[in-house]
Structure 1
Amino acid sequence: MSEIDIPESHPRYESLLTRHRIEAGVEKGITSKQGLIAQGRGEAFDYLLGEETTPSAKRAERAAAAQLLLAEKPVLSVNGNVAALVPGEMVELADATDADIEVNLFNRTRKRMVAIADHLQEHGATEVKGLAADARIPGLDHERAKVDEDGIYAADVVLVPLEDGDRAQALAEMGTSEIVIDLNPRSRSTQHATVPIVDNIIRAIPNITEHARELADSGHEQLEQCLKEFDAADALDNAEQTIRQGDLS
């Protein structure tokens, strides 16, 4: 079954669509097989969130847009699942916030890195960082430590969707502000984020882009106020309570 074969009237349309995209990503060589497991784990959390963007997530997505617009050097980090699920949407967000895009993988091979970069360029990206890997994030002993010196290493704000918790922690220890998209409010990634977004990435990225376009003409003080009004601890607590009280009926 292809995306074209899935009728939008199907009650599991969005779920089937994301599963298809992850499967196609594996076949194309951009997503690892472990990504299939990660997608299933996230989907379980999304069930309990009602498969919709909660009010607290909406506030987080607006704060994320403000933080990206305030950044001097924002970077959007992309792994295999992100590339499979929202390649065009990531490019649109980069355009809306004047951010760089950088590929960063745990299961890193040159072939996968090039495949993801090519895939993003097929969806409109003009430049994709990550292949140089001429710097390392301190405190990490695996492939995610490899970053571009003029990319993630130099960034003041990094969007790290579907992230490994140890890199999120290491970036925080570098003093980098992080926007994390993760459906688990208790993950290390969300716990270390300046702006944690507990939402499905297929909803979150377009929402952040929409807010960024709305806020594009805002002054520095207005953006700072938008970020100041956001409380990360409250956002995580609200998400956890929603999940704990999730209704599967």
Structure 2
Amino acid sequence: MIPEDHPRYAALVVRERLADAMRAGIVAPEGLIAQGRGEAFDYLLGERTTASAARAEVDAAAMLLAARRPVISVNGNTAALSAHQLADLQEASGALVEVNLFHRTEERMQRITALLEEHGVDVLSGVPERLIPLSHDRALCLPDGIGAADLVLVPLEDGDRCAALRQMGKAVIAVDLNPLSRTAQTATLPVIDEVRRAVPAITAACRTMTPAAARERACGVDGKRYLKEAIAAIAARLEEMGHALE
């Protein structure tokens, strides 16, 4: 039991959820390391959605609504943390949802799909093909899913697949707390925020944006600007904390 008055209550709940999901075969053990890395950057950002990230989340909604065939790519960590939120985002954006894993087994694919469907997500199924130019199993995707997408939303992503998707001519929205990661650096639009904060914000923006406004906003997205602003926010917070010790 985690006491609710613990100063790290929210973070400890997330850790327990991921640990339980690992024991259930949904999250790979390596996914716990990835979570820890992201949490470290969340500390640096003040564990909050910055004004810059909030704007990026509205941009993400615009890109999803303006896309011809948007697909949300889900891995184990994302499913464990945000399955119920993804159902809302799928409904608001009209995007397809496909499971894609680095540590891929049929059992994990089935467990993650079952978890998503339990929370109301309509998950694509079919026979995957090696359509993404990669040497590992993240190359596998569905021809009528990620294979046919013009835009892919990749929460908690591997940088090499993000780069490969861009090489295929697809736009990529990445939710990543680390503005220095390959994923954030490569994505069309990096959303530098925690996934459980980012997904509901994108959903809310999808529900209030008109198609015309989405098309107009999507044309002006500047991903590099968000990287610079995130790095500046981290630098400013570190300087502030340093001054507080004087």
Change (3 A) 1:6 1:158: farther
Separation in structure 2 between the aligned mates of residue 63 and residue 11 of structure 1, nearest angstrom: 33
1:172 corresponds to: 166
Q: Pairwise mapping of residues 23-42 of structure 1 onto structure 2 (< 5 A)? A: 23-42=19-38
- Deviation of 1:246 (Å): 2.7
2:129 corresponds to: 134
Cα pair 1:136 1:145 within 8 Å, conserved: yes
Please state whether the residue corresponding to 2:237 is helix, strand or coil. coil
Separation in structure 2 between the aligned mates of residue 178 and residue 27 of structure 1, nearest angstrom: 31
1:108 corresponds to: 104
Cα pair 1:83 1:120 within 8 Å, conserved: yes
Between Structure 1 and Structure 2, how many residues are aligned? 240
2:180 corresponds to: 186
Q: TM-score, normalised by structure 2?
A: 0.93
Separation in structure 2 between the aligned mates of residue 243 and residue 24 of structure 1, nearest angstrom: 31
Consecutive unaligned residues in structure 2, runs of 5 or more: none
Cα pair 2:128 2:140 within 8 Å, conserved: yes
Q: TM-score, normalised by structure 1?
A: 0.92
1:55 maps to which of 51, 54, 72: 51
Consecutive unaligned residues in structure 1, runs of 5 or more: none
2:222 maps to which of 228, 231, 246: 231
Separation in structure 2 between the aligned mates of residue 108 and residue 196 of structure 1, nearest angstrom: 25
1:159 aligns with 2:153: yes
Change (3 A) 1:32 1:237: same
Letter in 1 for 2:234: I
Change (3 A) 1:83 1:219: closer
What whole-Å deviation, never above 9, does each CA across 1:195-231 have from its counterpart, x for those lacking one? Answer: 110000010001100111111xx132x2132224432
2:211 maps to which of 219, 228, 247: 219
1:203 maps to which of 184, 197, 204: 197
Change (3 A) 1:131 1:114: farther
C-alpha RMSD over aligned residues: 1.5
Cα pair 1:48 1:246 within 8 Å, conserved: yes
- Deviation of 1:135 (Å): 4.2
Letter in 1 for 2:231: E
Separation in structure 2 between the aligned mates of residue 130 and residue 31 of structure 1, nearest angstrom: 20
> Which stretches of structure 1, 4 residues or more, deviate above 4 A after TM superposition?
none
Please state whether the residue corresponding to 1:106 is helix, strand or coil. coil
Change (3 A) 1:163 1:130: farther
1:119 maps to which of 115, 119, 122: 115
